[in-house]
Structure 1
Amino acid sequence: MTIDRGAPARGYRGGAAVECAGGAGPERVAGADPALRLDLTYAAFCETHEPAWHALALTRIGNQADAVLVVETVKADLARCWPQVLRFEEPAAYAWRLANRHVSDWVAAEEPVAVEAVTFAAVIGAFKQVANGLLHSEADEVRLYAAILELPDRQRDVVILRYLLGLHVKVIAAYLGRPVATVHSNLRHARERLARRLGVGELPDRGGEL
């Protein structure tokens, strides 16, 4: 990982679209009241969950413009299959998996990740509550950011949702379709990994695991 202090956004070329069986997205269905309800439901769903998709994309991609492009691709995939998405028991968890897949496709094509300076500052600023007093230099901050990117997917997911967005663990559990106990475990193991990378004994959750 490097800090990019001025290069332009590279542009997202797009990953594999989600597979779904037929059906128009909400933006292509017009006229009937049920279609209008689908459209409104889709818009509300995106408004609620887009901040989380964006936080995921921004943290892993490191570039604001490219993160926005990836999120727009996620939304387009959801729109194309929206009636089918609503049949899932947990649409939010499905959408998160879709976002993760698009972000992973982007990262795989763009290694090594170059994080723009403004994004680096924003992400590190959000994580300072958990690393309070442990970041003494930019080198420490780079190590923390790199360690976050290297976390296993499940741990990185909960770390981003917890520390970048400040979500309650019960909300995270519902969001990801995991038991609350699993989210607590993911957070604990993530903090242990980050602490080892920073060379400290413990990295407490100063916000509390509520």
Structure 2
Amino acid sequence: MTNPVEPPEPVGRSVPGRPGRKLGPIAPSVGSAHRAWLEPLRDTYLTSGLTLTDLSGRVKFAKSKLSELLRGVGLYPRWETVLRLAEALDMPNWPLYRLWRQAAFEAHKSSEWIERNVQRPTLTTTHTAPPLDHRAFHELVEGDYLLYAQVFLNDDERDAAVANTLDILWLCWNDALSSHDTRRFAWNVLRATVMTRTPHLDGRPQLGCAAFDTVALRSLTSQPDRLQQITESLELFQAISRLPDHQLDVMVLRRLCGFTTEKVSALLGTSLATVRSDERHATRFLESVLCPPPTEGTTP
């Protein structure tokens, strides 16, 4: 079992030209939790029009060290430096702090190390409320996002993935609002966050968590029937994992979460026609895998 490749950095936005050396990419060794706050921070810097010299003057930190931080190189950064960058770039510090704290544990930092980083009065992190439209969006989609994530992750990982998704969206909410479709932008963030936590086999996500919590399975009381249903579910989920990403999402939402076509369209930010087409093509593929036609020369 292997881990998935980290999601690519967001594309599609023009980056203003700036003098000096171009900022290098995020280091491949950066983990998913670290990347969750680093990518929005980098994106905000890259679209700000500031140079590293400008940023260095604002945060009173060496350019070489800023470059390392923005590429995820070297030691895990202290909250003081991240907070100064957030203030210089006018980013909300509360969701950034929560993501930074979680990534610190992933980097094997102790609770004592984290607390020492935030105890100084000058490093106070204010628990602020998100924008009203973000809060409304949060309330609208959180339950549905949890159901999708549950198919791939255990309860703790599911909750963390959805919480991270909503914090990342808070950090880049203006980008979400200015995108072609906010719902589609948000779904891409959710999917990338869930998939970085999902076990993968041969590059495809595993749906094992869903196999033991399906409606069909819960309705069975006979042990032989339950074992048969588990076997059939595992075969189905293995086949679903081979679908293209868009078709996989549609089938998970339609067949495992039980959402209507209209609900799926709203969650994904795609048209009804696209959802129906994806479901139709996915169904044909699954039927070909699970119920192949008899080979020539065999009797039915």
What interval of TM-score do these two structures reach, taking the shorter chain for normalisation? 0.5 to 0.7
Q: Is the 8 A contact 1:49 1:92 kept in 2?
A: no
User: Is 1:90 aligned to 2:90, yes or no?
Assistant: no
User: Residue 66 and residue 78 in structure 1: after superposition, are their counterparts in 2 closer, same or farther (change >3 A)?
Assistant: same
Counterpart for residue 182 of structure 1: 274
| Number of the residue aligned with 2:33 | 14
CA distance in 2, matches of 1:176, 1:157: 9
Given that residues 25 and 83 in structure 1 are in contact (C-alpha distance below 8 angstroms), is that contact kept between their aligned partners in structure 2?
no
Task: Note the C-alpha offset of 1:93.
Answer: 0.8
Secondary structure in 1 aligned to 2:212?
helix
Among residues 200, 205, 228, which one is paired with 1:111 in the alignment? 200
- Report if aligned partners of 2:208, 2:234 keep a CA contact under 8 Å in 1: no
Aligned-residue offset at 1:71: 1.2
Q: Answer yes or no: is the 8 Å Cα contact 1:55–1:164 preserved in 2.
A: no
Following TM superposition, by how much is the alpha carbon of 1:59 offset from its aligned partner in structure 2, in angstroms? 1.5
The C-alpha deviation readout for 1:54-79, integer Å capped at 9, x for no partner, is 23322233x22111111111111011
* Alpha-carbon distance in 1 for matches of 2:172, 2:216: 34
Please list every run of 5 or more consecutive structure 2 residues that lacks an aligned counterpart in the other structure. Answer: 2-30, 45-88, 96-127, 219-226, 294-300
2:80 corresponds in structure 1 to none
* Cα distance change of structure 1 residues 48 and 39 upon mapping to structure 2, 3 Å threshold: same
CA deviation profile, 1:131-183 (whole Å, cap 9, x unmatched):
xxxx9442212101222222211111111222333333233224323232221
For these two proteins, the number of residue pairs brought into alignment is 173
Per the alignment, residue 215 of structure 2 pairs with 125
Match of 1:171 among 263, 272, 290: 263
CA shift, 1:200, in A, is 5.9
Specify the alignment match of 1:131 in structure 2.
none
Cα distance, 1:193–1:26 mapped onto 2, change above 3 Å: farther
Q: Measured at CA, do residues 126 and 193 of structure 1 come closer, stay the same or move farther in structure 2, by a change above 3 Å?
A: farther
**Which residue of the partner structure matches residue 46 of structure 1?**
138
Q: Any idea what SS the aligned residue of 2:33 has?
A: coil
Separation of aligned partners in 2, 1:78 and 1:88: 12
Superposed displacement of residue 98, structure 1: 0.8
Partner secondary structure for residue 150 of structure 1: coil
Q: Which has the larger radius of gyration?
A: 2
Kindly tell me: are residues 48 and 200 of structure 1, through their superposed partners in 2, closer, same or farther at Cα, counting changes over 3 Å? Answer: farther
Change (3 A) 1:182 1:13: closer
CA-atom RMSD, angstroms? Answer: 3.3
1:104 shift after superposition: 2.3
C-alpha distance in 1 between matches for 2:292 and 2:178: 46
Q: Between the two proteins, what is the percent identity of the paired residues?
A: 26
Cα distance change on mapping 1:73 and 1:180 into 2, 3 Å? same
Q: Distance in 1 between matches of 2:32 and 2:183?
A: 24
For 1:59 and 1:159, how far apart are their aligned partners in 2?
A: 11
Length-normalised TM-score, structure 2: 0.49
> CA 1:181–1:111 in structure 2 vs 1: closer, same or farther (change >3 Å)?
closer
Which has the higher relative contact order, 1 or 2, with Cα contacts under 8 A spaced 6 or more apart?
A: 1
